[in-house]
Amino acid sequence: MGATIAEKILARASGRQVVKPDEYVLANVDLAMIHDVWSFVGPILSNAGVPRVWDTDKIVTVFDHFNPPPTIKDA
């Protein structure tokens, strides 16, 4: 059986010919997406020693979980 589309994308982005399930790869990221619950992830990343994102031009936030916002605080 051939590679899945995810395997093909990860192989290309990591400069490898083939990747397999259960492998860890370092890949160049074209665009990263995070949902509007990113406010929960920020403190986790900060506590893990990640001071900032690598490139703000390569991150997209999709507002779909709290749209419309359920509370004034969420807005």
Q: Domain segments of the chain: what residues?
A: 1-28, 31-75
Distance CA 68, CA 43 (A): 24
- Backbone dihedral angles phi then psi of residue 6, each to the nearest 5 degrees: -65, -40
pLDDT bin (cut points 50, 70, 90) of residue 22 is very high
Which of the two residues, 37 and 18, has the higher pLDDT score? 18
Calculate the average pLDDT of the chain.
86
> Which position has the token pair 């589309």?
5
Degrees (nearest 5) of the Cα angle 5, 25, 46?
115
Determine how β-strand 32-35 pairs with β-strand 59-62. Answer: parallel
